[in-house]
């Protein structure tokens, strides 16, 4: 079983909304997560992606990336989102993807050190949504790890 298959099974089990949305894990690593969702189960009255589904997929991509980083670092925690901001740039008329990349090693070290000392730490992650090759929405969220 590939890493992506294992992560997809995990998400569908622990976050049932991901299964209902039809989320597929395209890429899953500690540096890059790409999730895909079909239009069908995420449709709104205008026959485009429902805003809540868009926000959920973006949130899930960032949550998954942090989950994978914590697992690799052997840090046991419950991850929750504390705050998020979503900017919708264009309607999404079909299957869509959420992409979250991690590149701030200094922020990760601060997060890890804080979590080790206090059993609680916060990290801000950014993600974006794509339809085809076009960027259609941006996400930023503060995630908290509770030990």
What would the mean pLDDT of 52-78 be, rounded to a whole number?
Answer: 97
Helix (H, G, I), strand (E, B) or coil at 119: coil
Please provide the average confidence, as pLDDT, over all residues in the chain. Answer: 97
The CA–CA distances, whole Å, from 52 to 42, 59, 72 equal: 9, 10, 30
Q: What is the pLDDT of residues 78-127, one digit of tens each?
A: 999 999 999 999 999 999 999 999 989 999 999 999 999 999 999 999 99
Dihedral of alpha carbons 115, 128, 34, 96, sign: positive
Residue 108 has what pLDDT? 97
Instruction: Please report which confidence band the pLDDT of residue 67 belongs to, taking 50, 70 and 90 as the band edges.
Output: very high
Sheet holding 120-131, edge to edge: 24-28, 32-37, 96-101, 120-131, 134-146, 78-88
In the numeric block, which tokens belong to residue 127? 């993600």
């Amino acid at each position: 079983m590939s890493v992506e298959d294992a992560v997809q099974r995990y998400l569908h089990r622990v976050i049932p909304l991901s299964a209902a949305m039809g989320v597929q894990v395209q890429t899953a690593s500690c540096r890059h997560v790409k999730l895909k969702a079909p239009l069908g189960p995420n449709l709104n009255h205008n026959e485009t992606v429902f805003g809540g589904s868009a926000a959920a997929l973006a949130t899930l991509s960032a949550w998954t990336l942090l989950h994978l980083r914590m697992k690799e670092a052997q840090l046991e925690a419950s991850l929750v989102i504390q705050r998020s901001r979503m900017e919708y740039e264009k309607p999404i008329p079909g299957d869509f993807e959420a992409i979250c990349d991690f590149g701030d090693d200094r922020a990760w070290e601060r997060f890890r050190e804080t979590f080790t000392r206090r059993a609680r730490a916060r990290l801000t992650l950014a993600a974006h949504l794509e339809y085809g090759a076009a960027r259609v929405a941006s996400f930023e969220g503060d995630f908290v790890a509770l030990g």
